Each structure stands twice: as C-alpha cells, then as structure tokens.
Structure 1
Amino acid sequence: MYWIDPEHPDASDHITRYLSGWLHQYCPQNRPVIFVCIGTPAVIGDCLGPVTGTILSKYLQTNIYGTLEEPVHAVNIKAAIKKIKKQHQKPFIIAIDAALGNSSHTGYILLKEGPLHPGRGVGKRLPPIGHIQISGIFQDIFSAAAADQMTCFSRCISQGILKLYSAL
C-alpha cells in the first residue's frame, strides 16, 4: 500500500514506478490491462474516475471503461463487469475511484493491491473490482475543495499512467 501526495513534484513518477512493479510482478505480457474508472459526473468529488478515464482515453489505445461520456457508476457497474469479462480473456484490472477518508488521509492518493470496493464509504454494497486500486481520498465529495482535489488527483494519476505506457 502506498500513499502519495499528488502535489509532490515526483508524485506521478511514484505512481508509474509502483504500477510498473505490480504489472511486471503479476501481469504476463499476453494479459490485457483494463482501466475501470468509477464514479459519476453528477458529483464533483465523485467524478475522479470518469475525468481520469477521459484523459487516458485521449492518449491510450488500451481498454478504458468509465469516462465522462460513458461513466461506470453504481447503477451500471454490474453490467460493466459482465461486459469486461465477456470481451477480455483474464483481464488485469486497475480500478480508479474517489474514496472518503479521515482528515489524516484526505488529499492523498492511495495505491493498493487487491480489489476496490466502490461505494463502501457511502454505505453501498457493490461488487468489488480490480487487481490494483487507485483512490483519491476526499473528506467530503460535495465540498468546494473537492473540485480542486479532484483536478489535482486526476492530473497526477493520469500522468503516472501515461508515463507508465510511454516507458513500456
């Protein structure tokens, strides 16, 4: 588990390094890497996933689920998981989402092995997803500060992933 301050000058490089290590360790080259970017554009703090997915989809030819135009959220996540399983043989999934946390974690990006549990912070019971999770930690997804945090998080996460692909 890694905590990253997105305002640190080397933050995106840390994301690149950690993801690269996990991909080399757990993901054979013939296994497709899928990004599932979860959230809804209707809530500024909860659109971290779709904003990041939209940025990534402009630059990567890889499989990205969840953009501002076609979000993956609580209503359609089960259908998205079913579609991914149908279209991809043994995909390696990196899930990206906003999360609620306490004040000591607010403002940080969490990278962690294991599935992401979307909606857990707001009491929803949705299916877990992913082999790796990337979460931007918010104290309140509805606050005025959430827009600035979301922008900072999405920029850092997308830069880290784009550097990863340019290094591959």
Structure 2
Amino acid sequence: MPMSLRLPPLALAAPLLALLPACSPRVLSADGWNFRVGDTQGAVRLVSRQEFGVCSARLVGCTVPVGHGCLVMLDRDYFLNGTPRQRTLLLAHEVGHCLDASVLEYGHGGIGAQGAVYGEYYRPAVEGFAESYARAYVARCGDNLAPLGYGAGPECEVPDPRGVTAEPPVR
C-alpha cells in the first residue's frame, strides 16, 4: 500500500511561491514570522516596497495567496516605525486578504462597494473586505498582534471572516 506524506499547505506552496517575482530568495529569507488563523497559514516578511514584485511599490503591504496559505509582504520601514494602530491595521488588512482567498474563496463576505465607508480606496470589494476585517480585528483584539504571530500579548479570538461586515467608522 503506497504511503503518502501529508505536508502543511505552506510547505506545498513554497515551491510555487518561489516562481513568483515577489518571492525572490531575498524576500523569502527576509525577517518575519509565521501565523495561523484557523486552517489558514501565512508567512509575513518585512521587506522594501520595491521588492513587492507583483504589487505596486506605492503600497505598504502586499499579499500573495496560495491555496490555504499566503505570503504577506509588509514595508519594513512603515511597519517598524508606525504607531501600534498603524501596524495593527496594516497586518490585519493583509491577513484579511489572505482569509478572503483561503476561507471565502474571494467572495469578500458579500461586501461589495460598502467598503467605501472607509474611503474610496476601499470601494472595490477586495479592498473593502480586507479593511472591514482589519477594523473587526481591532474591535476584537485592539492593537494586540500576538494572535497574528507578532510579539507577545494575551490570547484573543480573531474575527471569523464569514461574519465580517463593512461598518462606518465611529467618530
């Protein structure tokens, strides 16, 4: 009887990620950490925006989903020098993209143009969902990034992407 080796999704995805321009050896070996949210695994790397490859260098974050995992690239300077809230919103937004792909299969949780409540950039459903996830994360976990693999902090149950909605910002 043949035996099969069951590898975690990221281990299977690594060779595929290596084919992408954004995933040069310099990116893959950059400082960072791994996270797991439910069945979704991700690798976060702190790099220069110019190394995003498949994403615009005008952005401060880029997520490359692959199956039930993803590679999240964050602008090193923006992340390390940002306020705790900026870091949280950035990382949770990019994790939102990852969950949109792996859990919702790009269904965006039914969020259409409603993301515009956060600004015009978030009008497309893909950005609206990611920002809605980031806001739901902050409402639930505050600026605690430990549940997303960064730093130490108390346990926090991250939002289920299936329950995220676009909510107008509290003024």
TM-score, structure 1 as length reference: 0.30
TM-score, structure 2 as length reference: 0.30
